[in-house]
Amino acid sequence: MLVKPEDTYRILNEAFPERLDITKDAASIANKFTTKPQGFLIQDTYNNPFLPVRPRPRVDTSKMDLIEVYKRVRENYGKFASIFLPWHYICEFVGNRYYIFNTRPIDVKFPLTNKQLSKLDDTEWDDLTKLFFKEKIFDISEGIHICIIGDTSLDIYTKKTYEAIGRMCMAPFMRYFKLPRGLFQRTFPLNVGKKFNLDYLTKFVKR
């Protein structure tokens, strides 16, 4: 059985009542990166291990599904309207090509921490996601989060998809902060389906 978004919010709300709205970020230094980002965390909206967006959009259509994602995140996880999403970048197919949208300031941390996420049910997490937390690679709040709209177990991705994510979201950070570019060095998939070729993505961050 799929974990329902409302159950995720309820668990977090009960465990951490001081942080009720994951879309709202006060303008404080506590919410900002104080050191360089520690890496990149790639996920999709439907299979998201922490903040799933369901039941739709599951298949990323040629229309603007980002509007639906904003709506569902606010309904399920936010108390107030916000211009931010939890993820720094959203990748979406619109018309006949993929676009990258900056949906969170790149100097603002992801709004949840490893400690908070340890309260969630991990039965839907894949082995790589569980391993990331078991090995304590870095705190999830310290990474740049890249989210792909839809279900990466169903959608088909072209060369342009990987090029857009690699060259626009990842390579500039890697060059500027001198982060290693290999998969599983500082780039980790979280519940990413088999239709998304992570090895192919690394070709574009190494250029």
Residues pairing with 187 in the sheet: 40, 183
Q: Could you read off the pLDDT tens digit of each residue along the chain, which spans 207 residues? A: 566 666 665 666 665 555 445 655 555 667 888 889 999 999 999 999 989 998 888 887 778 899 999 988 888 887 656 778 999 999 998 888 889 999 999 999 998 889 888 888 888 899 999 999 999 999 999 999 999 999 999 988 989 999 999 999 999 999 999 988 888 889 999 999 999 998 888 888 876
Express each pLDDT in 115-135 by its tens digit. 888 888 888 899 999 999 999
pLDDT tens, position by position, 85-98: 999 999 998 888 88
20 found inside a domain = no
Stated pTM of the model: 0.88
> Which range marks the domain in which residue 145 is found?
5-12+36-205
CATH number where 92 lies: 3.40.80
Provide the number of structural domains found in the chain: 1
